[in-house]
Amino acid sequence: MESHIKSIQEDAIVKPFRVSVEGNIGAGKSTFIKHFCTFPDVDIHMEPVSEWCSLRGHNLLELLYKDLNRWNFMFQNYVQLSRLKTQMHKTKRRVLMFERSLQNNRFCFVEMSHNNGQLLDVEYVVLCKLYDWIEQNFDIHLDLIVYLRSSPEVCYERIQRRRRPEEITMSLSYLKELHESYEEWLLQAQTPAPVLVIDANKELDEVRQLCFQNQSYILGHSNMHLNPVMQSQLKKM
């Protein structure tokens, strides 16, 4: 009996409740995740932006936004590696929460880039094959997706305010394309996990309140399998 209990406890450590926080650039993902940084049972991981901006002297994000056609394949390859490291992170905490996922990379960014002609057919095939191999050889499952749903216009305004150097050349049209890709992936297609949609157009205090209201779902205390997509004020943006 004791060995059985120990086995269950070890399994719980190996397999935390995985939460991916998704949303457009400027939707407020980092702010949302920071809300949970004081929770003792939550292990949080932000996107490794500083790593992408300083890879042996190269700023991958800056290169990407300056020339999407030239640098997209390289960037998506490296991001896929970054996300694999995050999702396979071993933790003793009950919840592993991270900013964007491998699934996001494959079914949102890669699809959008290929559809827009920013990835050659052969580059697209290579990225898809790599993802398929990862999925077959690693446990990258998600337990919940939190979609911070914000209009491209609101995201663009926030990006202009925060003035990150690598985002200066980002256009509203790019954010609109990314928004449509998110909508298709999380609201129209079959998703890899239940999706909790939060209206991220709201002010920060209101978003925090929505976090509090949905905390039991976000931390895996309540089951969402009977309601695959929970959404607040879902409407066309």
Q: Would you say 54 is a known binding-site residue?
A: no
Cβ neighbours of residue 186 closer than 8 Å, sequence gap 6 or more: 22, 145, 147, 195, 197, 229
Q: Would you say 134 is a known binding-site residue?
A: no
Q: Would you say 215 is a known binding-site residue?
A: no
Q: Which two tokens stand for residue 179?
A: 């928004």
Q: Would you say 50 is a known binding-site residue?
A: no
Strand order in the sheet with 229-231: 42-45, 95-99, 17-23, 144-149, 195-199, 229-231
Q: Would you say 24 is a known binding-site residue?
A: yes
The answer to whether the beta carbons of residues 17 and 143 sit under 8 Å apart is: yes
Q: Would you say 161 is a known binding-site residue?
A: yes
Q: Which two tokens stand for residue 208?
A: 């925090």
Count, residues in the chain? 237
The answer to whether the beta carbons of residues 46 and 30 sit under 8 Å apart is: yes
Q: Tokens 């929460």 label which residue? A: 97
Q: Would you say 8 is a known binding-site residue?
A: no
Catalytic residue among 10, 47, 51, 99: 99
Q: Would you say 220 is a known binding-site residue?
A: no
Q: Would you say 106 is a known binding-site residue?
A: no
123 given a catalytic annotation: no
Residues in the annotated binding site: 23-31, 158-162
Residues in the annotated binding site for ATP: 23-31, 158-162
Give catalytic residue positions: 99
